[in-house]
């Protein structure tokens, strides 16, 4: 099983920097033990103009059988040699993907202390896999790799070159070329898509495979046109895992559309006005209203659920009354941006002790969310499909049960006041719905009744006498506080 990665360079930026990025010295041939054999890393060529790294995986067929899933596709009979005779030692598969993640783990994460600027920059890359099973043929190979920025060459391999009338095998010779991708992105593409094309994992697929898929697919899988096929094959067609992966990917896609859409509308309105004083952007008014409501509730420990890029967390940190502020989001990309916005790496120890960021999906219960004074869902619910709202409702109001919950969402009635917004359009293409005031009140009242909360409604922004405010906020306060909670309060 064989794969090569080649890059080119100049005297100022030599191609041998590839050795730094892969954390493997070009002058050495190195070997690494794996569960199914031995992986070798060597460099057939390495100079300033061109450098090629090769990964050779020697598969131990006996070890593959002993570990349970090596009995051929679908499981072969115990007798005979069928369980030992297969293409695993020769054709790229999940075995090679696992070897990639093990041998080049730092490179896959984009970590390189010696050349950090090179790790973050696109490289001229050529990746070649001489034998790749492609269940779906060259056309599927192109459908998987081309949307990611690759120029794809997928040449079918004949069953027998001496008998062309036999036709092509299910294998292709794959060449990928790009100058727009980083090495880390390239490795993550291979890690996911090699086993997808093979469509036969060599190990039992457990629930942690969803986490692996989302980590490797961050930044490209949520919007990939073949996302459903990728998740289905990567997770060995396990329906429950595939459903979980798709739901989490959808939440990632939704979470990355933060409340900047409203700020963009505000900016368009401001550009059209001739007033000397610019109005306060709605996003700022919303954060101010949330902060005021939290202060009035007496909350000290606050959850920002669906925190996006950390704007509200940053605003709350300015008020010392909030002793613990936790930003929660399903998107690691958004959390990374939030961390940079907050400058967590440079924050003083005392201030840093007040803030936490962690990944979680609001469609599932999470014990880490319990015990807080208040939770905020700011411009979150409208990004979910309506059938997913009950799951969020239970996770927040039923399982986490903070004393106070603030929910803000657009008021669709107000949209007619924005001249820059076409009639009949929602404020952002990612909004699955926008409610009228009556619809929001009906939903909030039902949630409050079901989970033992009282609810009041607060306008955010100018309260138009005809169409109401641009943003509507519901303030939920728990009614059935037990004795222990009352003492803690």
Structure tokens at 430: 């990612």
Given its phi and psi angles, is residue 236 left (phi above 0), alpha (psi -120 to 50 degrees) or beta? left
Cβ-count burial 148-180 (b if 16+ within 10 Å, e if not):
bbbebbbeebeeeeeeeeeeebbbbebbbebee
Q: Residue 358 is inside which H or E element, if any?
A: strand 355-359
Helix (H, G, I), strand (E, B) or coil at 4: strand
Per-10-residue mean pLDDT, the chain, length 489: 93 93 93 86 95 92 62 44 68 86 91 89 94 91 95 90 83 94 95 91 80 91 92 90 85 58 48 52 92 96 93 93 94 86 86 92 91 95 90 95 96 83 72 93 96 96 92 92 47
Q: pTM score > 0.85 for this model?
A: no
pLDDT digits (tens, 9 = 90+) for 309-345: 899 999 999 999 999 999 999 888 888 888 988 988 8
Q: Cα(87)–Cα(79) distance, rounded to whole angstroms?
A: 19
Return the percent helix, strand and coil in the chain, to nearest 5: 40, 25, 35
Helix (H, G, I), strand (E, B) or coil at 112: coil
pLDDT for res 152: 95
What percent of the chain shows pLDDT beyond 90?
55
pLDDT for res 70: 40
pLDDT for res 73: 40
pLDDT digits (tens, 9 = 90+) for 68-97: 544 444 444 444 566 667 676 777 788 888
Q: Cα(9)–Cα(16) distance, rounded to whole angstroms?
A: 8
């Amino acid at each position: 099983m064989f794969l090569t990665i080649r890059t080119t360079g100049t005297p100022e930026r030599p191609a041998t920097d590839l050795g730094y990025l892969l954390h493997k010295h070009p002058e050495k041939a190195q070997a690494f033990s794996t569960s199914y054999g031995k992986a070798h890393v060597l460099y057939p060529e390495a100079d300033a103009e061109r450098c090629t790294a090769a990964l050779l995986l020697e598969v131990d067929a006996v070890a593959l059988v002993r570990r349970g899933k090596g009995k051929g596709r679908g499981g072969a009979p115990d007798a005979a040699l069928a369980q030992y005779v297969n293409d695993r030692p020769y054709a790229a598969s999940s075995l090679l993907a696992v070897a990639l993640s093990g041998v080049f783990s730092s490179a896959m994460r984009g970590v390189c202390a010696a050349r950090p600027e090179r790790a973050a920059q696109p490289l001229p890359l050529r990746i070649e896999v001489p034998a790749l099973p492609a269940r779906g043929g060259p056309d599927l190979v192109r459908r998987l790799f081309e949307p990611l920025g690759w120029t794809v060459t997928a040449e079918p391999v004949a069953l027998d070159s001496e008998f062309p009338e036999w036709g092509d095998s299910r294998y292709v010779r794959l060449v990928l070329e790009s100058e727009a991708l980083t090495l880390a992105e390239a490795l993550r593409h291979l890690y996911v898509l090699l086993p997808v094309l093979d469509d036969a994992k060599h190990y039992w697929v457990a629930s942690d495979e969803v986490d692996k898929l989302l980590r490797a697919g961050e930044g490209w899988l949520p919007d990939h046109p073949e996302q459903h096929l990728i998740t289905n094959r990567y997770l060995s067609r396990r329906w429950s895992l595939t459903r979980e992966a798709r739901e989490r990917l959808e939440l990632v896609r939704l979470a990355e559309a933060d409340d900047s859409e409203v700020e963009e509308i505000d900016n368009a309105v401001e550009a059209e006005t001739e007033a000397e004083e610019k109005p306060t952007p709605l996003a700022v008014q919303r954060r101010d209203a949330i902060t005021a409501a939290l202060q009035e509730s007496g909350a000290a420990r606050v959850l920002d659920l669906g925190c996006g890029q950390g704007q509200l967390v940053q605003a709350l940190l300015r008020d010392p009354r909030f002793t613990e502020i936790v930003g929660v989001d399903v998107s690691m990309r958004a959390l990374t941006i939030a961390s940079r916005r907050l400058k967590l790496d440079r924050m003083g120890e005392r201030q840093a002790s007040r803030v936490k960021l962690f990944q979680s999906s609001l469609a599932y219960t999470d014990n880490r969310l319990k015990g807080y004074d208040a939770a905020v869902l700011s411009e979150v619910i409208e990004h979910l499909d309506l059938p997913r709202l009950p799951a969020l409702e239970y996770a927040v109001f039923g399982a986490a049960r903070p004393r106070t919950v603030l929910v803000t969402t657009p008021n669709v009635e107000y949209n007619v006041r924005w001249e820059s917004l076409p009639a009949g359009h929602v404020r952002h293409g990612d909004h699955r719905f926008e409610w009228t005031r009556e619809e929001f009140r009906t939903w909030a009242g039902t949630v409050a009744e079901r989970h033992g909360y009282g609810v009041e409604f607060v306008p955010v922004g100018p309260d138009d006498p005809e169409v109401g405010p641009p943003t509507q906020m519901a303030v939920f306060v728990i009614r059935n506080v037990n004795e222990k909670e009352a003492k803690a309060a």
